[in-house]
Structure 1
Amino acid sequence: MHKQRGDTIFFITARDSSKVNIVPKILEPCFDLKKAEVIFTCNQSKTPSITAKQVKVYYGDSDTDITAAKEADARPIRVLRSPLSTNKTSYKEVGTLGEAALRDSEN
């Protein structure tokens, strides 16, 4: 949908930038992108990056993603975490933070 609308797509991750070579290689085929722009916050808040890029809609799977989007005045959308994810941290019940959720995104 975003590609069809001509939206610019950024990926903002808390991962360490030492993963700079592998992350775009994973994202580009998944999202059918020629070059993925990935911003690494190295476990710092994503709010400054969301603000700097003037992001209007932000998708995230963690509570901190949702709160960062709200702090940056972006619309937060919850991506449900896959049961296969290596990230086993829990999060609040979906919608508790006032976010919409992407249906069936855990699959």
Structure 2
Amino acid sequence: MSETDAETVAGTLGVSPAASSEQGPITPDRSEIDPLLDALDRLLSNDDAEVNRTFADAAPALRRSLGEEIVTLGRMIDTYEYPAALERVRALRARS
């Protein structure tokens, strides 16, 4: 990922690129993120471009719960790599 891409994704997530790499492991709050991941899954499954806006709106909550992992998902969605993003969302949902 280029520095500009990292800045764009980090900006969407509301963090600085440096801060995103400094974060330690975060314990996900499933009650907060499961509905968000469900919505992303549904939109990505349908190749619905609304996923970009939904992700941007959900990014702060996802960032709080999932930390660094969300940066890769954000990049995939921002570059319309929906099949890869869908796999990533499903992997995140499968974790307990």
Same fold (TM over 0.5): no
Give the TM-score normalised by the residue count of structure 1: 0.26
Q: Which has the higher helix share?
A: 2
Q: Which has the higher strand share?
A: 1
Structure with the larger RCO, 1 or 2 (CA within 8 Å, 6+ apart): 2
- Decide which structure has the larger Cα Rg and report it: 1
